[in-house]
């Protein structure tokens, strides 16, 4: 009886505490709703997160209308322009919340279209025959579900495409990201007869939950039917390596990329390869970008994951030392002056490119002087496209 | 053999008796709960029979975040059909605002924030105050002694005090079509339930429901449910089954098969 009387007497105080803890109480009632969402999808037949086999077919695309390549007789196709570009899903320089100290999450239709139109214009200006793209959205809420592979095919002179998801999730319960399907793509003027998605090692420095929802990096390898007078085994290989890993995941991914290029070379195939390796060239002038990448709210001595390359400076050595691999930009040329070849800068920190992360390689030969780092495309993405022209003269072909 | 036939006859005689209590567990039908009876499930709302003509229902836990109430009113039978109308009101704003957050967790490039169902993007305006009102007609007819057929149709309207950004949609099956009314302004629902008494304690419920959002880009959702219901006694039952959902979403169409499980309790005065 005493306890009940006491409780009645103290009721106003208890009520006050209750109101003070209203937010906590509200969370208690919100939590079951969140659990219900998760439970529903864990038990459903469709997996919440798409996981991939080690090697599986990539998704094929075709432009709505085929642009006939210039009427060049097959035997006269002696040059192929190749370009690589991390297009940042068409977000241009919008301060997105994960990679640029920003707070934007979901773009508007107008923003996406403006971004894509800028990309298409640049692609048409460079006019590549083969285009390696990274961070392309195929079906993502953040880009109003525009299939960017199809859109770019339909709004440039590229005809065929292949797409390999790096991030395919029905619903990411983080800041309303929702559905996402992002990946690597290769667009080509000529028909792609085979396309493989090759799974790269997952990051080893994350919790199991984050790793489950995180990007599943891959290499996209396609066979392109170039109409030359000689039958060619011609491949395009596209990689987007880990950006923010703090362990050796990225090194494993780069090594696997190199291994695939070696296999193609041993098999007598010709390849053009490249992408965003998220790695700086050996002997770069600067290896630490903590200052450049720091967000305004970070402490002065804070260094964001993936900003310090000090321990990684030799990870790309083999691409410059191996006699069967030809980088579009020779190391000697880069060392003369680094900055004209920089391809990346974080969005919010100044207006200067500050590191090279994007590369092109072949086992044939690039035409000297054709490699261009298109730093004029600053407003179109946080990466600059890199293009180069491959010498396809038959007497060069092994 | 004689014993077997006898059991069947007894069962057939008892069936109407077991169906006599069919006012109980009548959530999807035009039947009203008897006065003073309440029923509730893990995922089902609390339903209370106020009179022989009026039944109230509310999701007690959800109502802290989605205030909701529904009343089912019985009307005179015609042509052997039981007839009722159901009128519901839902205020989803508190929950939607609660789900609009950055998420809780470590905000780094190594670990992901978890919890934000709706984006907190600064270009998305605040979720406005919104209320939806749904008016539905239900008609139920007993077919033979073992089957109840229910047809239903309704229309919902939503009113809101501001603009609702289309980027706040939750593009998930079941959720997306039910929130569609707030984006589209109105919605139509049609459906049918078939309830079969398999044995004295075992029942099977099969239903189809369609949600239409006329004028919207994603205007059609189809849901089908199959549930085995085991009535331990008149005050407790276990439901196990599946739900098949097909719908149009902003990203395209999708099929989804979900397992269903529920426990329901009831008590009569």
Q: CB distance A176–B117 less than 8 Å?
A: yes
What is the percent of chain B where pLDDT is above 90?
A: 74
Q: CB distance B258–A40 less than 8 Å?
A: yes
Chain B hits for A207, CB-CB cut-off 8 Å, are 111
pTM beyond cutoff 0.80: yes
Report the gap between the CA of B245 and the closest CA in chain A (Å): 11
**Kind and range of the H or E run holding B207:** strand B202-212
Per-residue burial over A30-44, b if 16 or more Cβ lie within 10 Å, else e, is beebbeebeebbeeb
Cα angle B196, B200, B205; round to 5 = 25
Q: CB distance B99–A26 less than 8 Å?
A: no
Q: What's the pLDDT band for B81 if we cut at 50, 70, 90?
A: very high
Structure-model confidence comparison of residues A269 and B20, the more confident one: A269
| Predicted local confidence at residue B152, as pLDDT | 97
Q: Among the listed ranges A33-42, B95-104, B204-213, B216-225, which one has the minimum average pLDDT value?
A: A33-42
Query: Which residues 87-126 of B have a C-beta within 8 angstroms of A?
Result: 94-95, 98-103, 105, 108-124
Enumerate residues 6+ apart whose C-beta is below 8 A from B69. B56, B57, B58, B63, B88, B89
Interface with A, mutate which of B119, B166, B242 (most A CBs under 10 A): B119
| Predicted local confidence at residue B218, as pLDDT | 95
Chain B hits for A206, CB-CB cut-off 8 Å, are 110-111
Domain boundaries, chain A: 2-38, 51-396
| Predicted local confidence at residue B2, as pLDDT | 36
**Is residue B23 domain-resident?**
no
Report the gap between the CA of A116 and the closest CA in chain B (Å): 18
Q: Say which CATH class A51-396 falls into.
A: alpha beta
B131-180 pLDDT, tens digit per residue, is 999 999 999 999 988 899 999 999 999 999 999 999 999 999 999 999 99
Number of domains chain B is built from: 1
Average pLDDT over residues B245-252: 96
> Of the candidates A44, A105, A175, which has its C-beta nearest B256's C-beta?
A44
Cα angle A137, A352, A308; round to 5 = 75
Report the gap between the CA of A260 and the closest CA in chain B (Å): 28
Q: What's the pLDDT band for B100 if we cut at 50, 70, 90?
A: confident
Report the gap between the CA of A361 and the closest CA in chain B (Å): 29
Residue B129 pLDDT > 90: yes
> Of the candidates B62, B111, B124, which has its C-beta nearest A210's C-beta?
B111
pLDDT along chain A (398 residues), means of 10: 50 49 50 54 67 97 86 71 98 88 92 98 97 97 97 97 96 88 97 97 85 91 89 94 89 97 96 97 92 86 88 94 95 96 80 92 96 96 97 66
At residue B90, the 3 state secondary structure works out as: strand
> Of the candidates B115, B117, B257, which has its C-beta nearest A44's C-beta?
B257
| Predicted local confidence at residue A36, as pLDDT | 57
Nearest to A241 by CA among A260, A227, A225: A260
Interface with A, mutate which of B103, B107, B111, B112 (most A CBs under 10 A): B112
What is the percent of chain B where pLDDT is above 70?
A: 85
Nearest to A106 by CA among A116, A92, A96: A96
Structure-model confidence comparison of residues B119 and A7, the more confident one: B119
The boundaries of the domain holding residue B105 are 74-267
Q: CB distance B109–A174 less than 8 Å?
A: no
- DSSP β-ladder status, A79-86 and A130-137: parallel
Chain B hits for A139, CB-CB cut-off 8 Å, are 251-252
Chain B hits for A32, CB-CB cut-off 8 Å, are 61
> Of the candidates A37, A43, A105, which has its C-beta nearest B259's C-beta?
A43
| Predicted local confidence at residue B5, as pLDDT | 39
Q: Please, what is the average pLDDT of chain B?
A: 87
> Of the candidates B108, B171, B258, which has its C-beta nearest A178's C-beta?
B171
Q: CB distance B112–A214 less than 8 Å?
A: yes
Residue B10 pLDDT > 80: no
Q: What's the pLDDT band for B69 if we cut at 50, 70, 90?
A: very high
**Is residue B57 domain-resident?**
no
| Predicted local confidence at residue A22, as pLDDT | 47
Helices (H) and strands (E) in chain B, counts: 3, 12
Q: CB distance B98–A26 less than 8 Å?
A: yes
Residue B44 pLDDT > 60: yes
| Predicted local confidence at residue B106, as pLDDT | 40
Report the gap between the CA of B77 and the closest CA in chain A (Å): 39
Q: Is B260 exposed, middle or buried (0-12, 13-18, 19+ CB in 10 A)?
A: middle
């Amino acid at each position: 009886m005493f306890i009940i009387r006491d409780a009645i007497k103290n009721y106003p105080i208890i009520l006050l505490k209750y109101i003070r803890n209203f937010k906590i109480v509200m969370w208690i009632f919100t939590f079951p709703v969140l659990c219900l969402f998760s439970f529903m999808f864990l038990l459903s037949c469709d997996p919440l997160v798409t996981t991939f086999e080690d090697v599986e077919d990539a998704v094929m695309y075709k432009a709505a209308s085929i642009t006939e390549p210039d009427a060049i007789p097959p035997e006269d196709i002696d040059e192929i322009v190749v370009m690589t570009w991390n297009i940042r899903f068409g977000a241009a320089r919008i301060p997105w919340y994960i990679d640029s100290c920003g707070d934007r999450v979901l773009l508007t239709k107008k923003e996406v279209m403006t971004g894509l139109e800028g990309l298409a214009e640049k692609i048409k200006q460079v006019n590549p025959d083969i285009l390696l793209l990274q961070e392309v959205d195929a079906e993502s809420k953040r880009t109003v579900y525009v299939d960017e592979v199809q859109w770019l095919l339909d709004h440039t002179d590229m005809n065929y495409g292949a797409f390999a998801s790096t991030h395919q999730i029905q619903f990411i319960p983080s800041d309303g990201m929702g559905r996402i399907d992002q990946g690597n793509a290769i667009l080509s003027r000529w028909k792609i007869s085979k396309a493989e998605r090759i799974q790269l090692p997952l990051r080893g420095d994350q919790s199991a939950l984050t790793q489950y929802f995180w990007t599943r990096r891959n290499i996209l390898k396609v066979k392109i039917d170039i109409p030359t007078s000689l039958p060619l085994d011609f491949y395009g290989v596209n990689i987007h390596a880990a950006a923010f890993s703090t362990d050796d995941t990225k090194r494993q991914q780069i090594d696997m990329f190199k291994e695939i290029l070696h296999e193609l070379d041993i098999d007598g195939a010709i390849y053009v390869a490249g992408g965003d390796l998220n790695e700086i060239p050996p002997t770069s002038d600067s290896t630490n970008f903590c200052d450049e990448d720091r967000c305004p709210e970070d402490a002065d001595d804070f260094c964001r994951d993936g900003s310090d390359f000090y321990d990684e400076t030799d990870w790309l050595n083999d691409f410059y030392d191996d006699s069967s691999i030809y980088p579009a930009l020779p190391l000697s040329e880069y060392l003369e002056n680094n900055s004209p070849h920089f391809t990346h800068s974080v969005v919010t920190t100044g207006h200067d490119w500050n590191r090279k992360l994007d590369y092109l390689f072949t086992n044939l030969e690039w035409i000297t002087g054709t490699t261009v780092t298109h730093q004029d495309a600053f407003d179109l993405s946080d990466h600059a496209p890199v293009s180069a022209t491959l010498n396809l003269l038959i007497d060069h072909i092994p | 053999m004689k014993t077997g036939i006898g059991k069947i006859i007894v069962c057939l005689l008892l069936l109407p008796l077991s169906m006599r209590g069919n006012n109980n567990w009548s959530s999807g039908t035009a039947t009203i709960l008897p006065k003073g009876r309440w029923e509730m499930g893990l995922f089902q709302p609390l339903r209370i029979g106020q009179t022989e003509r009026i039944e109230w229902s509310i999701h007690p836990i959800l109502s802290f975040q989605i205030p909701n109430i529904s009343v089912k009113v019985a009307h005179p039978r015609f042509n052997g059909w039981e007839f009722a109308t159901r009128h519901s009101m839902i205020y989803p704003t508190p929950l939607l605002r609660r789900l609009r957050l950055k998420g809780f967790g470590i905000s780094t490039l190594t670990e992901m924030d978890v919890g934000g169902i709706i984006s907190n993007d600064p270009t998305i305006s605040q979720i406005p105050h919104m209320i939806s009102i749904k008016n539905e007609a239900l008609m139920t007819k007993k077919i033979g002694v073992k089957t109840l057929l229910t047809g239903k149709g309704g229309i919902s309207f939503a009113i809101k005090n501001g603009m609702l950004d289309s980027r706040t949609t939750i593009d998930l099956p079941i959720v997306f079509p039910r929130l569609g009314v707030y984006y589209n302004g109105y919605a139509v629902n049609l459906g049918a339930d078939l309830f079969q008494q398999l044995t004295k304690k075992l029942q099977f419920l099969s239903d189809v429901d369609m949600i239409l959002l006329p004028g919207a880009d994603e205007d059609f959702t189809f849901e089908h449910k199959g549930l085995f219901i085991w009535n331990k006694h008149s005050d407790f039952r276990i439901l196990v089954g599946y739900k098949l959902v097909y719908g149009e979403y902003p990203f395209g169409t999708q099929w989804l098969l979900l397992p269903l499980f529920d426990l329901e309790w009831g008590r009569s005065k």
